[in-house]
Structure 1
Amino acid sequence: MLTSSSIIHLPFTTDLTEGGIAYALRSLSYAYFKSDLSPVGKLRRTVANVAVELAFRRYLANQNVAFEVKASRAFTDSERYDVFLDKYRCGIKSFFISNRNQISEIKRNPQALLNAQALVPADHHAADGHSYNDIYIFAFATGLIAASQVDLQKALDKNQPHYLVHILPESWRKPSHWNPLGTLTLKSESDEETIVEVIGQDEGRVMKRKVISLHPKTKINLDENFYAINAIHVKHMPNARIGIKCEAQRDAYIISHFDWANIWVYGMDIFLCGFLSYEEFSQQAKALPINSKTFQYETTRVKNLFVPVANLKPMEKLFINRPAG
C-alpha cells in the first residue's frame, strides 16, 4: 500500500519545459488532432508529459541507478525513446494538473494524490507490443499555463518565459502529395521588423527550421525546399497579421494577432507516485467509462482502465528489487 511519504517529489525546472517544447514541435510531424480537441492544448500536455520523462531520467542519473534509453517500439513516433531498467521497459503515465485549487491542495496535502486514479487508456493497454516485463510508472505534474489571451498578455507584460507558435492546418502539415512546396512567400503587415521561424519537414520527413526577418509590409521569398510546414514560431507577439503562401497551396494562409498560442508550461512540481507491472495492472484494473470525473480530469474523453494510486507499489521497490517476471 502506497503512502504519501513514498512519493518522490522532484522540481519542475525551466530546462524540463524547454526539453518538452523541443519534443512537442517534432511531434507535429505525425500528431493526430481530434476535431473536438485543441491542437495547442494537446501540445501543452505533450510538453508537460515529456518534462516528467526527462525529470525521471535525471532522477535515475542522480541516484546512480543504471538505465538505458532505447528507441520506442511505436512506429508512428520515431522521436520517442523508452527508459529500460535492466530488461524492464518503463512507460510513464503522467497527468498535468493546472487547476489552482488542486495545486494548492496537493502542495498543502500530498496525500491527496493517493485518492487519485492511475489511468491507462483501454486501447493503449490492449495494443500490441506490450511485454510482461513492461512497467507502468504513474506521475503527476503541477503547473500553470497562459492559455487565454488575457493570461498570455499578463505573462508578456511580466516578461515571463513564453513560446509563441501557430500550428498550421493539416493541408500544410500533412499534404496529400509529398512534393516540394516550392518557394515560400511571407509578409508581415506590421510597421516593425518581425522575426519568425518556419518549422516544417524536408524530403526525408526530418524536422527543418528556418529563421527569417520580415521587413515591414514587404514580401520575403524563401527557397528552402520544405515539403511540409508544421508551425510558425515568433519570439515576440506580432502587432499585425502575417501571411504565408507557397506554390503548392492555392490560397495564402493568414495568421492574425490573436492566432498565436503560448505553449510554455510554467511548471511547479513533479510527483513520481508509484508503479505496477503490465501484468499486475491487467489483473487489478477496473474499467472507467467515457465522461467519468476523476481527480485529474473534469471529464474523461476515452475509455480507461484504472487502479487507485494508493494501490501502487512505491518507487523505491523498483530501484532496489526489480519486479518478478
Structure 2
Amino acid sequence: MLSPSDLLHLPYTPDLTEGGIAHALRSLPYLLGNERPYDRIRRMVAGVAAELAFRRHLSAQDIPFEVNNSAPFSDSERYTVSLGGRRCNLESFFISNRAQAIGMRRDPSMLLGAPALVASDHHPLEDSSDHDLYLFAFISGLVAASQSDLGRVAETRQPLHLTHILPPEWRRPAAWRPFGSLTLKSETTTEITVEISGQDAELKFLMQEVSLPPQKRVTIANNFHSITALHARQIPAARLGIHSPSLGRTHVIPPLEWRNIWVYGMEIYLAGYITRAEFRRRASPIPIDSKVFQYSRTKAKNMAVPVSGLKPMHELLARAKYQAAK
C-alpha cells in the first residue's frame, strides 16, 4: 500500500507548459473528430509537461533512460521513456478544478483515494510487453479559458497562448496539394504578429510567422499543404481573416474566437507504477459516465486499480539506478 510519503513530487515550471504547447501544435493534425478540441489540447499540454518533468528528474538523479517514439503518425506522437528496457507508459490526469487543485497542494494524500485509470482502448497495445509499466501522474493547475479570465491574465501580465484551430477543410483538405499563396488581413488598429501552423507535402510540421499591419492585406508564399491553427502574439481587438485561392475559402476569426491554451501548472505528482500484466489481472471496469476523482463524468470506458495499491516510484527508480551501475 502506498503512503503519502511515497508520492513523488516534481516541480512545475513555465517552460514545461511551453514544451507541452509545442508538442500539442505538432499533434493537431492527428486529433480525431471535427470539434475544436481546446480542452483536449490543454490536457495534452499538461500531460507532456509531466513527461518532461519526469525526464528532468531522471537526469537530475543520474538515472539512465532511453526515449523511444512509441506512436508515429498517431493522435499524440508520444515519445516514451524506457527504464532498464521496460517502457514506461505515463497516464496523466490534469486536475484544473480550482478546489481540487488547491486541495492537492495542501494535502497530496487525497490522491491515494483516486483510481489509477487506463482507457480500455489504450490497454491492449500490440507492441507492448507484459513487463512494461504504467505510471500515473496527477497535474494540478488552472486555466484561463473565459473572456473574464483572459482579461485578468492580460492585466497581470501572466503568460498566455492565444490559438484558433481552423475548420476540418483546412486541417485535412480533400486534395493534398500546396496552398500556394495565402492572404491575411487584420482589422485591428495596431500591428499584430501571428504564427501559422500546419504540414508540408511530407506531413512534416511547418510554422510561419507573419506580421500584419493594421487593416492591410498581406500575401505570403508558403509550402503549407494543410493549416491547423493560428497563434496570435497579442490579443486581437478585431477580426482577422485568412484566404486560400487554392482552397477557394476564406476563414474569418472574430476576436472572441481565440482560445488561451496556456496551462498555469501548480504541482506534479507521480503516484506510483504497476506492470501491464498486474494491471490486467487486478483492474476493474469503470463504465462511461462514472464520477471519479479525475472527471465529473468519464467519457470513455476505463479500467482501473486503486492508486493506493500501486508500487512506490522510489523503488522503481532505485532499481533502475542499481541495474545501470552493475
Flag whether TM exceeds 0.5 (same fold).
yes
1:286 is aligned, of 277, 284, 287, to 284
**Residue matched to 1:303:** 301
Distance 1:33 1:151 in 2: 27
Q: CA deviation at 1:321?
A: 3.0
- Counterparts of 1:289 and 1:116 in 2: how far apart (Å)? 16
The SS at the match of 1:229 is strand
Question: Mind listing any 5+ residue stretches in structure 1 that lack a counterpart?
Answer: none
The aligned residue for residue 183 of structure 2 is 185
Q: Root-mean-square deviation (CA), in Å?
A: 1.4
Match of 2:89 among 71, 88, 91: 91
- Could you tell me how far 1:320 is from its partner in structure 2? 2.5
Contact 2:32 2:75 in 1 (8 A): no
Instruction: Measure the CA separation in 1 of the matches of 2:10 and 2:24.
Output: 22
Could you state the TM-score of these two structures normalised by the residue count of structure 1? 0.95
Residues of 1 paired with 2:40 and 2:78: CA distance? 16
Distance 2:13 2:190 in 1: 34
**Given that residues 60 and 67 in structure 1 are in contact (C-alpha distance below 8 angstroms), is that contact kept between their aligned partners in structure 2?**
yes
Query: 1:78 and 1:288, CA in 2 relative to 1: closer, same or farther beyond 3 A?
Result: closer
What is the match of residue 25 of structure 2?
A: 25
Percent of aligned positions that are identical: 48
Q: Residue 248 of structure 1: CA displacement?
A: 2.5
Q: Normalised by the size of structure 2, how large is the TM-score?
A: 0.95
Aligned-partner Cα distance in 1 for 2:106–2:12:
17
Distance change >3 Å, CA 254–CA 73, structure 1 → 2 = closer
The whole-number CA distance in structure 2 between the counterparts of 1:216 and 1:7 is 52
d(CA) in 2 for partners of 1:296, 1:77: 21
Moved segments of 4+, more than 4 Å: none
**d(CA) in 2 for partners of 1:214, 1:119:** 46
Aligned to 1:217: 215
Q: 1:107 to 1:60 in 2, by over 3 A?
A: same
Write the distance in 2 (CA, Å) between the matches of 1:155 and 1:203: 38
1:68 aligned residue: 66
1:315 corresponds to which of 313, 316, 320: 313
1:317 to partner: Cα distance: 1.5
| Equivalent residue pairs, number | 320
Contact 1:72 / 1:78 at 8 angstroms: preserved in 2?
Answer: no
The DSSP-based 3-state class of the residue aligned with 1:211 is strand
Which residue matches 1:5? 5
Within the candidate set 256, 259, 267, 2:257 is matched to 259
**Structure 2, unaligned stretches of length 5 or more?**
321-326
Report what 1:208 is aligned to: 206
What letter corresponds to residue 3 of structure 2 in structure 1? T
User: Paired residue for 1:114?
Assistant: 112
> Structure 1 residue 298: deviation in Å?
0.3
Aligned amino acid, residue 121 of structure 1: A
| Deviating more after overlay: 113-122 vs 98-107 | 98-107
Q: What is the Cα deviation at residue 280 of structure 1?
A: 0.6
Say whether the 8 Å CA contact 2:27–2:76 is kept in structure 1.
no
Query: Secondary structure of 2:231's partner?
Result: strand
The equivalent residue for 2:323 is none
Instruction: Give how far 1:238 is off.
Output: 0.9
Quick check: 1:7–1:274 contact (8 Å CA) kept in 2? yes
What amino acid is aligned across from residue 27 of structure 1 in structure 2?
S
**Shift of residue 78 of structure 1?**
8.1
Secondary structure of 2:100's counterpart equals helix
